Chain A
Amino acid sequence: MHRFLRLSVLLMGLFSAVSSYATDAPQSAPMTPDSLGPLVEQPIEFPHNRHAKDMQIDCMYCHTYARRSAVAGIPPLRKCIGCHQSIETVRETPRIKKLFEYWEGSKDGKIAAKTPVPWKKVHDLPDFVRFNHERHIKRFIEQQNRPTQEACGYCHGDVKEMTVARRSKALSMGWCAGCHEKDHPVTAEGGTPIGNQAYWYSFQKPVANASGSAIKAKGPNDCWQCHK
Chain B
Amino acid sequence: MMDSGFDRRDFLKVLGWGGAAVALSGCGNTSIEDGRETVVSYSEPADYVIPSIGVYYNSTCAQCDAGCSINGRVREGRVLKLEGNPASTINRGKMCGLGQAGVQHHYNPDRVREPLLRKGDAGETITWEKAYALIAEKMNGVSGEEVAFLSGGVSGHLKVLLGNYLDSFGCKNHFVYEAVAPGVMRAANKKSYGVAMPRYSINKAKVVLSFGADFLGSWVSPVHFSQQYAQFRKGVDGQRGVLIQVESKMTLTGANADRWVAVRPGTEGILALGIINALGTATGDIAAAVKEYDRVRVSKETGVTPGQIDKIAALLKLRSPSLVLAGSAAEGYAHGSQNAAAINLLNHVLGNIGKTVEACESVPFPQMAPATGNTAALKSLSDGLAAGKYKVLFSYAANPVFTAPGAMKFKESMAKAGFKVAFAHYMDETALQADLVLPLDSALEDWGTQVPEYLATCAQVNIQQPLMERLHANTRGMGDILLALLKQRRAEEYKGYEDYYAYLRGALLKNKGALGGANVDDDTFWNETLTRGLIKLEGPVGALSAKANAAGLKLPAPAEGDAQYPLHLIPGVTASLRDGRHTNQPWLQESPDPLTTIVWDSWVEIHPKKAAELHIVEGDIVEITSKTGSIKAQAYLFPGIHPEAISVPLGRGHEAMGRYAKGYGVNPFQIMDAVYDNETGELAMHETRVRISKTGQRVIVVKDEGSAGGSQAGKKIAVRVSTDDVDLSEEV
A contact set with B: CB distance below 8 Å:
1-3, 6, 9-10, 13-14, 16-18, 20-21, 24, 27-28, 30, 37-41, 65, 68-78, 102-103, 114-128, 167, 171-172
Contact = CB atoms under 8 A, between A and B. Distances in A.
Given A21-B24, A73-B41, A118-B38, A127 B31 contact: yes
A21 B28 contact: yes
Do most interface residues of chain B lie in helix, strand or loop, or is the interface mixed? Answer: loop
B43 A18 contact: no
Nearest to B33: A124
A30 B33 contact: no
Do most interface residues of chain A lie in helix, strand or loop, or is the interface mixed? Answer: loop
Given A120-B35, A124-B34, A126-B29, A76 B17 contact: no
Interface stretch (B49-57, B370-378, B585-593): B49-57
Interface string B1-43: 0001110001001100110111011011111111111111111
Contact of A116 (B20, B36, B40): B40
B21 A13 contact: yes
Contacts of B34: 37-38, 40, 121-124, 167
A24 B30 contact: yes
Closest 3 CB pairs of A and B: A40-B35, A17-B21, A20-B25
Nearest to B41: A74
Given A27-B29, A37-B34, A121-B37, A14 B43 contact: no
Contacts of B50: 65, 68-69, 73
Nearest to B24: A17
Nearest to B25: A20
A115 to B, nearest CB: 7
Contacts of B33: 121, 124
B32 A126 contact: yes
B45 interface: yes
Contacts of A126: 29, 31-32
A3 B10 CA distance: 9
Contacts of B36: 120-121
19 contacts: A1-B5, A2-B4, A6-B13, A6-B14, A10-B14, A16-B25, A21-B24, A40-B35, A41-B35, A65-B50, A73-B52, A76-B42, A77-B43, A78-B43, A117-B41, A120-B38, A121-B33, A121-B37, A126-B31
Q: Which of A10, A18, A125, A171 has the most CB of B within 10 A?
A: A10
Contacts of A115: 43
B10 A120 contact: no
Contacts of A167: 34
B493 interface: no
A6 B13 CA distance: 9
Contacts of A72: 51
Contact of A119 (B22, B41, B42): B41
Nearest to B14: A9
A129 to B, nearest CB: 9
Given A10-B14, A40-B35, A167-B34, A17 B22 contact: yes
Given A65-B51, A119-B40, A121-B33, 6 more contacts: A21-B27, A40-B35, A116-B41, A116-B42, A120-B35, A172-B29
A67 B5 CA distance: 63
Contacts of A75: 41
B667 to A, nearest CB: 40
Nearest to A78: B44
B18 A76 contact: no
Contact of B39 (A14, A27, A120): A120
Given A13-B17, A122-B35, A3 B5 contact: yes
Nearest to A2: B5
Contact of A120 (B20, B24, B37, B45): B37
Contacts of A27: 28-30
Nearest to A128: B31
A123 B32 CA distance: 9
A14 B45 contact: no
B18 to A, nearest CB: 5
Given A2-B4, A20-B25, A69-B50, A118 B40 contact: yes
A137 to B, nearest CB: 14
B578 to A, nearest CB: 35
Nearest to B30: A24
A14 B53 contact: no
B344 to A, nearest CB: 54
B44 A114 contact: yes
Interface string B224-249: 00000000000000000000000000
A121 B44 contact: no
A114 B42 CA distance: 9
A162 to B, nearest CB: 14
Contacts of B13: 6, 10
A77 B31 CA distance: 28
Contact of B43 (A10, A24, A114): A114
A69 B53 contact: yes
Contacts of A116: 40-43
Contacts of A71: 51-52
A126 B14 CA distance: 30
Given A6-B14, A69-B51, A117-B41, A37 B35 contact: yes
Nearest to A120: B35
A157 B10 CA distance: 51
Contacts of A73: 41, 50-52
Given A2-B6, A71-B52, A119-B41, A16 B21 contact: yes
A74 B37 CA distance: 13
